[in-house]
Structure 1
């Protein structure tokens, strides 16, 4: 059950507003990024939240991967995004693909500042 879990908190994103508020557009770019990274999408759920007094609602996009998952949450009123990429490394090391997916998505949002974390999960059986 070993794998790699990457997270990123993106602040002051300079991307076009569609990437923060347009669920179908964000879902499509997620699928494209997954494929470009060499991972396999097996399902997708995208939920757009209603507008609030602070502005347009954000989006949560989740892509179920054969290798595990991708999840994105946007906060357009803060121009913020959280990214979560987890890949299982059972049967092969997908770590480079996880990093490629994360880099692709970060480039979409164009943050001025980001905080990234990397967690190695589980143990490799000897």
Structure 2
């Protein structure tokens, strides 16, 4: 069953509030995540809300990576979507979760653009949860 793209929807909790509130840091993490995930960056935009929170997107040749943060809750909503076969979106997701120091992640992988016999398209969803234990709130154990 071939798919046009992979879409990762991630609920990240227990994240470092200082990182989640820093638009420049989030931009840096996302641009590096694109490299780690073998994606070609085309553009990016990140916005810092007042008093808190960041929303941002990196447009890549393969599609996009986006985030919305709630530092006061230690929560981030991540979205990584790639088309084609060269990118590795799961590596990008893992990199982001590590750098925002997430303690927990609920991940849904959606295989998108699965062509049906009648030339329509559908998708399949696989979901899992991960407890990302870190020593001293810093490193994965």
Q: How high is the TM-score relative to the length of structure 2?
A: 0.75
| Equivalent residues of 1:70, 1:83 under 8 A apart | yes
- Kindly indicate whether residue 43 of structure 2 is the aligned counterpart of residue 73 of structure 1: no
Residue 85 of structure 1 corresponds to which residue in structure 2? Answer: 80
| Secondary structure of the corresponding residue to residue 110 of structure 1 | coil
Compare relative contact order (CA 8 Å, sep 6+) and give the higher one, 1 or 2: 1
| Secondary structure of the corresponding residue to residue 111 of structure 1 | coil
**Deviation of the 1:38 alpha carbon:** 1.4
* Counterpart-to-counterpart distance in 1, 2:47 and 2:96: 18
Deviations 1:80-117 (A, max 9, x none): 0111000012xxx146x101101100111222222110
Greater fraction of residues in strand? 2
Residue 36 of structure 2 corresponds to which residue in structure 1? Answer: 36
* Counterpart-to-counterpart distance in 1, 2:68 and 2:89: 18
| Equivalent residues of 1:69, 1:85 under 8 A apart | yes
If you compute each CA radius of gyration, which structure gives the higher value, 1 or 2? 2
| Equivalent residues of 1:86, 1:98 under 8 A apart | yes
| Equivalent residues of 1:34, 1:40 under 8 A apart | yes
* Counterpart-to-counterpart distance in 2, 1:119 and 1:37: 17
Change (3 A) 1:111 1:29: closer
2:100 to 75, 98, 109: 109
| Equivalent residues of 2:55, 2:69 under 8 A apart | yes
Structure 2 unaligned runs (5+)? 118-141
What is the number of residues matched between the two proteins? Answer: 115
Q: How high is the TM-score relative to the length of structure 1?
A: 0.83
